[in-house]
Homo-oligomer: A and B are copies of this chain.
Amino acid sequence: MKRINVAIAGFGGVGRAIAGLLLARRERYCSVFGVDIRLVAVCGSRAGNASRDGLEPHDFDALIDSLSGVDFILEARPDVLIEAGPSNFRTGAPGHAYIGAALDAGIHAIVISKGALVRDGQGVRERAARSGSLLKVSGATAAALPTIDLLEYNLRGCEFLHIEGILNATTNFLLTAMMEDGLSFAEALRKAQAGGFAERDPRNDTEGWDTACKLLILANFGLDANLTMDDLAVEGIQGITKAQIRTWKADGAVPKLVGTITREGSLIQASVGVKTLPASDVFAQVMGKNKAIRVRTDTMGEIVAIGGGAEPMATASAALKDLEHILIATR
C-alpha cells in the first residue's frame, strides 16, 4: 500500500485536533484511497515528537523539548505538511518559514495560519508552482464554511461579480449579543471572553483584521488578485454605540461585519465594514458563531453558504478535507 507521511507544525488546539482526527480516520484513508497515512512528526514552538513508523495519540502527551523548527520537520521527510501555528499577518512568522521550506522541498502544504498567506501570498504560490507542490488554504479562509472551494469548484467556469462574507465568528457573536441582549460593545466583549469566544486581546477580530485577512486570501488565491493589506479599507465593530444599536433595532435593521470584494473588469477591490441589513436579508439570519458567504456570478446567479461548526474540530476537518483533495489529485 502506498504510504503517505504527514507532519504538523503548530501543536495548539487546532494542531492537536488535526492529529487526533487524522489518526481516527486512518481506516478511511486505507479503504477509500488505498493509502497508509502516518503522522511522522508534530511540533509546537518549543517541543515536538517524531516517529518514522508514525506517532500514536499517547505520543502527543510526551513532547520532547527542542524537537521543533523547520529542520526538525524536514528531517521527518513528510509528503504533506499541515501548518497550524500562531499567525501574525504583519510578519508572516512563524508559519512562513515552515511553509516555504516545505514547498521548496516538494512537500504539499495545507495552511491554516493566515500570516504567511497574507504577508507573502504571491511568494508562496510561486514557490509551490516551481516545485510542483500543492498548496491548500481552506483552513485559512473560514475553515468549515466553503469559501475558496465555492469559487474554485462549485461555481467553476462562472465569472464572479460580487462577493460578500460574514467571515469572523467572534464579531458575529458580539453583534448578536449587542442586538439581542441590548449589551454595549464592552459588555458583550466581557461576556464573550468569559465564555471563551473572544481572546484576551480581541482587536484582531473586533477591529476587522481577521475578516480582512480571510478576504485578502480569498481574493488573491480564489480570484487571482494581487492585493496587499494596504489596499483594503478596514473598519471594525469596536466603535458601535448603544445608541446606534437602539436606532438599528427601531428600524428593523441588523448590523453585520461584512467583507466585500467587488470586480469591475480586471479591477478587484476589497473592504471590511459594518453593514446594516433588512431582516429579510438572509445574512441577517446568520447568528452567533456562524459565518456566511454570498457570491454573485454571471451564469449561476447568487449562491449563499452559511456554516461554521464547533472549533477546533471544524478547522481540523477543513484541513483534512484539503488532505483528501491532495490524495485525489496525486493518485
The residues of A with any CB-CB pair to B shorter than 8 Å are 21, 25, 28, 144-146, 149-150, 153-158, 280, 282, 285-286, 297, 299-310, 313-314, 316-318, 320-321, 323-325
**Pick from B300, B305, B309, B318: contact of A304, CB under 8 Å:** B305
Q: Which residue of B lies closest to A29 (CB)?
A: B157
In whole angstroms, how far apart are the Cα atoms of A280 and B149 in the complex? 27
In the complex, chain B residues whose CB is within 8 Å of the CB of A309? 297, 299-302
A307 adjacent to B307 (CB under 8 Å): no
Contact status B144-A303, CB under 8 Å: yes
Closest to A292 in B: B304
* CB pairs A–B below 8 angstroms (16 shown): A21-B299, A28-B157, A144-B303, A146-B303, A149-B154, A153-B153, A155-B321, A156-B324, A282-B306, A285-B285, A300-B309, A300-B317, A300-B318, A302-B309, A304-B304, A304-B307
Contact in complex: A156, B325 (CB < 8 Å): yes
Give the Cβ gap from A260 to chain B, nearest Cβ, in Å.
19
Chain B residue nearest to A329 (CB atoms) is B328
Can you list the 10 inter-chain pairs with the closest CB atoms, starting with the nearest? A301-B309, A299-B317, A303-B307, A144-B300, A146-B154, A304-B306, A300-B309, A156-B321, A156-B324, A300-B317
